[in-house]
Amino acid sequence: MPDVEPTLSVVIPMYNEEAVIPLLVARLRPALDRIGEDYEVVAVDDGSSDATAAVLAGQLRQWPQLRVIRLRRNSGHQSALTAGLYRARGSYVVSIDADLQDPPEVIEEMLNLARRDNLDIVYGVRNDRSTDSPFKRSTAGLYYWLMRRLAGKSVPRQAGDFRLLSRVSIEALRELPEPAPVYRLVVPWLGFPSGEVGFFREKRAAGSTKYPLSKMVRLTVDSVTSFSSAPLRLATWLGLVGVLTCLGLLVYSVAAQVAGHTVPGWTSMIVAVVFLGACQLLCLGLLGEYVARIYQAVQGRPAYFVASDSPDKKLSQPAQR
């Protein structure tokens, strides 16, 4: 490990990626060596339960630039990313997925663009997702459409967590109070000069996705609630529509009473009760999501715990940010 700060850090969150690591190293190492700059690779083992730790330990002996941070338990992709970004020491930090869906050769292009145009952020943008399943493509399309509507047009389309950040932008991220922000929204929001590099999204090199539907839903809920209070306003609008409907119904029921035919009406009664009940539950649930965020913020627990970091082994304090 060089004593001087490296020019480039590459942060790779990994959760049960034993099958992918040898393939990743075989492509990433030559791609980074070719750049000809000092670099470090920060592999963040997100509490894997397979042989990821053992495979990484093996690689650690052969690759001096590799550093392994192990989290005590599975904390999720964004938290693992946070652990790596905040501990990386490079002047430029690139985050990349472990599964080779983001081609490592693009890192050089990102670095060159950042230096040439003096940019703080370079997004890797997927030009082509034909290798993803139709389900993944359509849900991802919906996600980016929603995010651009809620968080603004500065959120690039089809840019995941493959990006380059300058030291300055990482320091800006550290200033934020959130323990593990949704980076694909927070980074554009910082407003640093940014550029894009297009790439072809490849198939996962080995293993299976670590983003099941439940984690995708969680990321979407976190993304929406961390960037928009529009869902809360939904309750106000629904309430307004409800009041207007009730006013109409009031006039109608008084008129029906006067006209003397008040017995029928079971269906309308049931519809009104069921519909209003559903609206109330929906709004309560939305409110609950925000209350949960406040609750987590007040608790102030770190999003992850670092169990060990290879240069200064056996760290046992909570995560330092």
**What residues from 193 to 222 belong to the interface with ligand UDP (CB under 6 A)?**
209-211
Rule CB under 5 A: choose which of 40, 46, 99, 120 binds Mg ion.
99
Of 9-17, 86-94, 149-157, 279-287, the segment contacting ligand UDP by CB under 6 A is 9-17
User: What are the structure tokens assigned to 17, written together?
Assistant: 């990626």
State which residue, 84 or 90, has the beta carbon closest to ligand UDP.
84
Q: What track of x and - describes contact with ligand UDP for positions 10 through 39 (by CB under 6 A)?
A: ---xxx-x----------------------
CB of 44 to ligand UDP, least distance (A): 7
17 binding partner (options ligand UDP, Mg ion, none; Cβ < 5 to 8 Å by kind): ligand UDP
Would you put residue 7 in left (φ > 0), alpha (ψ -120 to 50) or beta?
Answer: alpha
Tokens of 147: 């995010």
Find out whether 177 and 112 touch, Cβ atoms under 8 Å.
Answer: no
Strand partners, 128: 200
For ligand UDP (CB under 6 A), the number of binding residues is 16
Residue 120 contacts ligand UDP per CB under 6 A: no
Contact map string, positions 66 to 105, toward ligand UDP, x by CB under 6 A: --------x-xx--x----------------xxx-x----
Cβ atoms of 160 and 183 within 8 Å: the answer is no
Question: Would you say 191 or 212 has its CB closer to ligand UDP?
Answer: 212
Q: Name the minimum Å distance from CB 131 to Mg ion.
A: 10
User: Which residues of this protein are in contact with Mg ion, per CB under 5 A?
Assistant: 97, 99, 101
User: Which residues of this protein are in contact with ligand UDP, per CB under 6 A?
Assistant: 13-15, 17, 46, 74, 76-77, 80, 97-99, 101, 209-211
